[in-house]
Amino acid sequence: MSANKGRVRGAVLAAGRAIVVSVACLAGSITLFVCVVLSLVLVPLGVGLLTTPYVLELVRRHANRRRLLAVTWSDVRIPVPYRSLPKDAPTGFSGQARRTALMLKDPATWRDIQWLLIDMTAGYVVATLAAGLLIYPLEGFVLAAGLWRVFTDNRYWYGFVPVDSQATGLAAAALGAALFATGVLLSERLLRLHFVIARTMLAPTQEEELVRRIDRLTETRHEAVDTAASELRRIERDLHDGAQARLVAMGMSLGTVEALIEKDPAQAKKLLAMARESSAEALSELRDLVRGIHPPVLAERGLADAVRALALRLPFESEVAAELDGRMDAAVESAAYFAVSETLTNAAKHSGADRVRVDIRHEDSTLRVCVTDNGRGGATVGGGSGLSGIERRLGTFDGIMAVSSPAGGPTMVTMEIPCELS
C-alpha cells in the first residue's frame, strides 16, 4: 500500500515538474530561437555583432538551467561543452565582434540552436504528455460527479467518449481512471525521456568531450600546482608567525632560566612556568595547523563522521545523511571534506539560513554530496567567490559542481567526484 502511495506521489511530482518544463519550452525556447535568428540575420548589418553574444549567452543559461533540472529531477547528466572565452578580450565593437566570432565557431552553439527547435516541439510534447496523463483525468471525474448535466443538449466529447448522461459520465470517469493509472506508470519515465532528448542534442560528441577533458585536466593541473604552492606558503607563514615565534621565545626563556637557576630560583621558576605555557600554546597552534591540513577525525573515522563533526559546530540546525559502504582515497576524502566545509561556511556567513541538510552517497562509481539550506538564495559561481574555489578544488579530481539558488531560496549545492570505495 505504501509502495503504491509512493508511486502516485512520485508521478504527481513528475507531472508538476513537467508543467514547469513545458512552460520553459514555450516561453523560453521559442522566444530565444526567434531572438537568435533575428540576431544572426542582422550580423551582416553590424547590429548582430553587438547583440549576438548577449543572445547566445541567454541561450547557454537556458540550456544550463535545463542541464541542472535534468540531473536534479531525473539524474540525467548532460556535460557542459562550451569553449572558454578569453578574459583579456578588447572592449567596444571590436571586442563584441571577436566574441561573436568565437561563439559562432563553437560547435556547442549550433547544437544549442538545434536543441531549441527540438525543445519547442518534441520536448514540449513529451513534457506535456507527462503532465496531461495526470491532469486530464480530473475532467472525467468531474463530469461523472455531475458536470455532464451541462451538456444534455449539446453532446460533449471527453476523449472518445460522448458525454450527455450519467452513464456516459461514468464512462468518462472510467476513461479518466485508466489515463490516471497510465500516468502513474509513465509520467516519471516521460519526464526522464524529455531530458534524454535534451541530452542527445546538448551533449558534446566523443571527440569534443576528449578535447574538453584534456583542456580541463591541463587547467586543473595548473590550478592544483598553484593551490599547493599557496597552501605551502600559508603553512610556512603560520609556522613562522605562530609556533616558531613561541618556540624561539621559549628557548630564550630557558636560556635565562639557566643563568638564574642558582642566583634567583624564584624568578627562574616564574620563567619556567611561562615557558611551559608557551610550549602548550605552541602545541595547540601546531594541532590547529595539522587539523587544517588533514583533520584527525577525517583520517580516523572517514568522511561521513568528519562532516557530522563539522555540522555540530554550525550556529543553526543541521542534518547529515550518509550512505557510504567504505572509504575512498585519502586525497578524494580530503577534497570532499574541505569542499563541504567551505559550502557550510558560506551558508553560515551569507545565506541567513536556520537549517541545512547534507546528503552524502556513493553510487555508479561517483561520490555525490548535496548541501541544501533554507536561506535567502542568490548564490552564484564566479567572481572569486568561495564557490569558485570549491569548483577548482573538485576539478583537480575531475569533479563537478552544480548550484541551484533562486532568489528567496532554497540553495542546493551538488558536488560529484568520480571515485571508488575500498
Contact 60, 82 (CB under 8 A): yes
Reported as a single tens digit per residue, the pLDDT across 183-216 is 888 999 999 999 999 999 998 877 777 776 777 6
Which of the pair, 37 or 275, is modelled with greater confidence?
A: 37
Reported as a single tens digit per residue, the pLDDT across 85-142 is 766 555 666 778 888 888 888 888 999 999 999 999 999 999 999 998 888 888 888 8
C-alpha cell at 388: 569558485
Q: How many CB atoms lie within 10 A of CB 182?
A: 14
State in Å, rounded, how far the first CA of the chain is from the last one. 38
pLDDT of residue 160: 83
Reported as a single tens digit per residue, the pLDDT across 311-339 is 888 778 888 888 888 888 887 888 888 88
Share of the chain above pLDDT 90, in %: 19
pLDDT of residue 294: 59
Q: Would you kindly state where each structural domain of the chain is located, as residue ranges?
A: 2-204, 207-293, 300-418
pLDDT of residue 57: 92
What is the edge-to-edge ordering of all strands in the sheet holding 411-418? 317-323, 355-363, 366-373, 411-418, 400-404
Which of the pair, 22 or 209, is modelled with greater confidence?
A: 22
Q: How far does CA 109 lie from the centroid of its chain?
A: 23
Query: 380 exposed, middle or buried (CB, 10 Å; 0-12, 13-18, 19+)?
Result: exposed
Helix (H, G, I), strand (E, B) or coil at 325: coil
Alpha-carbon distance of 175 to 297, in angstroms, equals 60
At residue 397, what is the residue type? Answer: F
Alpha-carbon distance of 173 to 194, in angstroms, equals 29
C-alpha cell at 277: 605555557
pLDDT of residue 8: 84
- Of 14-23, 33-42, 98-107, 187-196, which gets the smallest average pLDDT? 98-107
pLDDT of residue 65: 92
- 289 half-sphere exposure, CB direction, 13 A CA radius: 20
Which of the pair, 78 or 225, is modelled with greater confidence?
A: 78
Query: 83 exposed, middle or buried (CB, 10 Å; 0-12, 13-18, 19+)?
Result: middle
What is the fold of 300-418? Heat Shock Protein 90 (3.30.565)
Contact 398, 375 (CB under 8 A): no
pLDDT of residue 245: 60
pLDDT of residue 18: 92
Q: What is the pTM of this model?
A: 0.57
